[in-house]
């Protein structure tokens, strides 16, 4: 076979640059479409039940009506109305106080319990189960349990106080105590989840690092501060993001235990939204407050991620 | 008369089988035929298309055979579904319509109705109180009933005349009535006769001053006894129990034309001051939050309360439980020379988007009629809104409740913002009664909030 014939045969077998471009794009499309098909079962509900409602809510926050009657555009009126509503400002304040207290308390307790369970593993499954059970309890049951704990006459808390020689406390007559009760109820409920989360995180800390610190003479607290906590930092920040999102949406315990009282001291953002949307048919105000909540959560999440990123940047620079 | 409710004219018998003579097929068909002839005639006057389904009735046919009506109500008791099923059976038998009853829990009532009425297949008939009635109605989801097609139809004129005028008037907003009043509740003060005797209270109080004095005497007994208990938390709808104090002083929370909020009038301050004083000054009522409404009732049942302000529906419970002391009840005390009883009004409403409005209207009429309302009202202790309905069944206690209510009832004016305004009033009561702020300050805040709500 001559060189020309070989060249011609080779050309017949290979693709021209144009043909290659078309073929490769066909291949990518085929591969891409298969991937899109795989994500479709998730993407359609995500679009239908999250993206569309979010944009629809944003649109309705500039309208009056929208659920029972057709919406009509009112510009910023809903936003002006909620901005002047003292119940909303109170609800934001209560939600922030609640979230800070609940997150700090549950993280501290969960981390302590996780450390104990990590150290004493014998029989720990029973404790894990016991800690996790409250999470499975419905909100109504949690409410009932906490009503028994806080009851003025025969509640556990007041029984302890009286047995110690103190007077009884009217928990639901005091705004601060009522909010603290919500905090305790939610901490009690979430403790099992966060304990298991931190336990899993603790078990991912390399033993060699702890051993090296031990060899270097680091004591228990020093090892915890200098090795465990830095290693847990990404997990802690992620946990903080999840906890912020969850705690800013607290509703069911408020609904069951206090319904926002006394004098709105346990009124939270979602409680405010629920009342505007479903009790008062002030849908525009309800949507505006819902969009505000979304904004707050997005900002807090962004700050958390920025903190996470800045730490990584700092580590890389070092 | 085409009013199905007046077929019997007497209360339903208590046995499960309705007496055939009272609800005979023949009688029903006579009425149905009357309707078939009568309604087109009325329709000619009113431009009504309502007669069409009736006009085609064959002899022996049930007018709404195959029609399913969706009916929803927040329950007055755990047995309500059974009670209603029993009472609706004659209606289903005679009309052929099947009534599907959905129990809507009180705590999700607003959300349930909002989502249901937003959808394409709303409840054909539901129960709404005057707090929510016009809020929903003004959104266009409820049928306006005071039209020539329904309430003002010539065929309904006789029945309409039997309604206590004040109930229809109170439920009408800007000329529109979105629901047919069916019950009024009222509140009463239960008292523990033994405690009162022990405390030396010989005369029942009739006004606020006398109540405070009597409650103080009971309070002095000590031993965990309270002189007076009334719900004072917003979550227990405290405004409902204190509202009569406003009416006794000739005021309301909103002006008659509903253009102005009137929370902070001198009379409104005086009305709330009395209840704040019961807690903070005379200390005869427990502090806000110490006992919720149910706990207050439990304390009364345990013999630890002199006067308990609650609803008449506790009557049946107290009697059933045979409380271990002598007790009775009286009308809420008066002030300013007036002694009114307050309650919201319950209404039967029809969905404006309902697909079977004629059948729904028949159901509304039946629910309003003595055939249903006598037994239903008697079972839960509600007072009737029609002169031909008697909910007492000869029971002297219920007769007395009805007498109190019917002689001095003054209800909540309905309006699109009443649910929110009563919530604001509840918050003011809670703040003042807990001592968190003075009565004047609490009501001034309510006035400001209420005015913003009215403008929104």
| pLDDT at res. B78 | 87
Question: Is the CB of B436 inside 8 Å of chain A's CB atoms?
Answer: yes
**Closest partner residue to B452 among A81, A171, A279, by Cβ?**
A81
| pLDDT at res. A7 | 84
The complex scores an ipTM of 0.82
**A173 to B115: CB separation less than 8 angstroms, yes or no:** no
Q: How far apart are CA B96 and CA B65, in angstroms?
A: 4
Residue A61 has pLDDT above 70, yes or no: yes
Q: How far apart are CA B259 and CA A318, in angstroms?
A: 69
- Secondary structure (3-state) at B341: strand
pLDDT tens figures, B117-154:
989 999 999 999 988 899 899 999 999 999 999 999 99
**Closest partner residue to B456 among A172, A173, A282, by Cβ?**
A282
Q: How many CB pairs under 8 A join A and B?
A: 92
Stretch among A26-35, B321-330, B337-346, B439-448 having the lowest mean pLDDT: A26-35
**A261 to B110: CB separation less than 8 angstroms, yes or no:** no
Question: Is the CB of B139 inside 8 Å of chain A's CB atoms?
Answer: yes
| pLDDT at res. A34 | 87
For residue A90, which residues of chain B lie inside 8 Å, CB to CB? none
Question: For A72-84, what is the mean pLDDT?
Answer: 94
Cβ partners under 8 Å of residue B149, min gap 6? B46, B48, B50
Question: Is the CB of B423 inside 8 Å of chain A's CB atoms?
Answer: yes
| pLDDT at res. B34 | 44
pLDDT tens figures, A187-213:
999 999 999 999 999 999 999 999 999
DSSP H helices in B104-237: 109-118, 130-137, 157-160, 165-171, 193-199, 208-219
CB interface of B with A, residues 290-349, below 8 Å: 290-292, 295
pLDDT tens figures, A79-124:
999 998 999 999 999 999 999 999 999 999 999 999 999 888 788 8
pLDDT tens figures, B312-324:
889 889 999 999 9
From B367, B387, B50, select the one nearest B180 (Cα to Cα).
B367
Yes or no: say if B372 and B80 are a contact pair by the CB < 8 Å rule.
no
| Partners of residue B47 on adjacent β-strands | none
Residue A1 has pLDDT above 80, yes or no: no
Mutate which of B289, B429, B448 to test chain A, going by most A C-beta atoms within 10 A?
A: B289
Dihedral, A163, A164, A167, A170 alpha carbons, nearest 10: -80
**Closest partner residue to A263 among B110, B136, B436, by Cβ?**
B436
| pLDDT at res. B11 | 34
**A275 to B423: CB separation less than 8 angstroms, yes or no:** yes
Cβ partners under 8 Å of residue A206, min gap 6? A231
**B292 to A172: CB separation less than 8 angstroms, yes or no:** yes
CA A153 to chain centre: 36
**A275 to B292: CB separation less than 8 angstroms, yes or no:** no
pLDDT tens figures, A213-270:
999 999 888 998 899 988 988 888 889 999 999 999 999 999 989 999 898 999 999 9
| pTM given for the model | 0.82
- Min Cα distance A255 → chain B (Å) is 9
Chain A nearest-CA residue for B455? A81
Question: Is the CB of B105 inside 8 Å of chain A's CB atoms?
Answer: no
- Min Cα distance B132 → chain A (Å) is 8
| pLDDT at res. B378 | 85
Chain B nearest-CA residue for A152? B290
Chain B nearest-CA residue for A81? B456
CA B31 to chain centre: 31
Q: What does chain A come to in residues?
A: 318
Q: How far apart are CA B308 and CA B323, in angstroms?
A: 14
For residue B417, which residues of chain A lie inside 8 Å, CB to CB? 280
């Amino acid at each position: 076979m001559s060189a020309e014939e070989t060249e011609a045969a080779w050309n017949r077998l290979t693709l021209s640059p144009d043909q290659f471009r078309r073929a490769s794009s066909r291949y990518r499309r085929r591969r891409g479409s298969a991937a899109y098909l795989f994500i479709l079962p998730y993407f359609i509900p995500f679009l239908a039940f999250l993206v569309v409602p979010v944009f629809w809510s944003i649109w309705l926050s500039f309208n009056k009506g929208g659920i029972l009657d057709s919406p009509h555009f009112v510009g910023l009126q809903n936003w002006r109305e909620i901005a002047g509503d003292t119940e909303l400002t109170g609800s934001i304040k209560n939600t922030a106080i609640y979230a800070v207290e609940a997150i700090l308390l549950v993280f501290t307790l969960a981390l302590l319990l996780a450390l104990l369970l990590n150290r004493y593993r014998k029989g720990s499954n029973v404790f894990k189960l016991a800690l996790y059970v409250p999470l499975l309890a419905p909100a109504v049951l949690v409410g009932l349990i906490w009503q028994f704990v806080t009851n003025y006459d025969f509640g556990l808390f007041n029984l302890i106080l009286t047995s110690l020689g103190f007077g009884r406390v009217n928990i639901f007559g005091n705004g601060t105590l009522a909010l603290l009760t919500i905090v305790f109820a939610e901490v009690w409920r979430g403790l099992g989840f966060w304990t298991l989360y931190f336990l899993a995180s603790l078990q991912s800390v390399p033993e060699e690092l702890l051993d090296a610190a031990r060899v270097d003479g680091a004591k228990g607290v020093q090892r915890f501060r200098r090795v465990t906590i830095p290693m847990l930092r990404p997990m802690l920040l992620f946990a903080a993001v999840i906890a912020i999102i969850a705690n800013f949406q607290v509703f069911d315990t408020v609904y069951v235990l206090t319904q926002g009282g006394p004098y709105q001291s346990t009124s939270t953002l979602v409680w405010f939204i629920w009342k505007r949307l479903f009790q008062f048919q002030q849908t525009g105000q309800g949507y505006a407050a819902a969009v505000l909540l979304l904004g707050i959560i997005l900002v807090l999440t962004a700050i958390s991620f920025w903190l996470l990123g800045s730490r990584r940047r700092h580590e890389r620079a070092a | 008369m085409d009013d199905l409710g007046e077929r019997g004219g007497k209360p339903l018998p208590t046995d499960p089988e309705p007496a055939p003579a009272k609800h005979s097929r023949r009688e029903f068909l006579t009425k149905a035929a009357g309707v078939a002839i009568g309604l087109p005639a009325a329709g000619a006057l009113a431009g009504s298309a309502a007669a069409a389904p009736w006009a085609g009735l064959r002899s022996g046919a049930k007018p709404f055979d195959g029609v399913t009506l969706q009916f929803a109500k927040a329950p007055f008791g755990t047995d309500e579904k059974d009670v209603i099923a029993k009472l609706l059976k004659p209606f289903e038998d005679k009309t052929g319509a099947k009534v599907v009853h959905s129990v809507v829990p009180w705590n999700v009532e607003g959300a349930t109705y909002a989502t249901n009425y937003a959808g394409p297949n709303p409840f054909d008939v539901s129960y709404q109180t005057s707090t929510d009635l016009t809020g929903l109605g003004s959104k266009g989801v409820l049928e306006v009933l005071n039209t020539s097609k329904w309430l003002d139809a010539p065929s309904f004129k006789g029945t309409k005349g039997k309604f206590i005028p004040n109930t229809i008037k109170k439920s009408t907003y800007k000329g529109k009535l979105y629901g047919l009043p069916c019950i009024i509740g009222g509140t009463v003060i239960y008292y523990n006769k033994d405690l009162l005797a022990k405390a030396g209270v010989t005369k029942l109080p009739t006004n606020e001053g006398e109540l405070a004095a009597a409650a103080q005497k009971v309070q002095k007994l000590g031993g965990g006894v309270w002189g007076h208990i009334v719900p004072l938390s917003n979550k227990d709808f405290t405004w409902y129990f204190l509202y009569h104090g406003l009416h006794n002083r000739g005021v309301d929370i909103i002006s008659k034309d509903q253009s102005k909020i009137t929370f902070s009038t001198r009379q409104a301050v005086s009305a709330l001051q009395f209840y704040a004083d019961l807690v903070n000054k005379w200390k005869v009522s427990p502090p806000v939050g110490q006992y919720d409404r149910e706990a207050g009732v439990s304390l009364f049942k345990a013999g630890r309360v002199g006067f308990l302000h609650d609803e008449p529906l506790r009557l049946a419970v107290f009697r059933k439980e045979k409380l271990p002391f002598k007790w009775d009840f009286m009308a809420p005390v008066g002030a300013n020379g007036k002694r009114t009883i307050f309650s919201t009004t319950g209404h039967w409403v029809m969905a404006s988007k309902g697909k079977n409005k004629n059948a729904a209207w028949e159901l509304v009429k039946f629910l309003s009629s003595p055939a249903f309302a006598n037994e239903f009202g008697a079972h839960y202790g509600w007072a009737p809104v029609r002169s031909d309905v008697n909910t007492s069944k000869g029971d002297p206690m219920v007769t007395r409740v009805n007498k109190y209510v019917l002689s001095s009832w003054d209800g909540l004016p309905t309006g699109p913002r009443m649910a929110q305004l009563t919530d604001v009033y509840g918050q003011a009561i809670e703040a003042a009664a807990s001592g968190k702020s003075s009565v004047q300050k609490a009501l001034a805040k309510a006035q400001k909030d209420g005015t913003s709500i009215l403008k929104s």
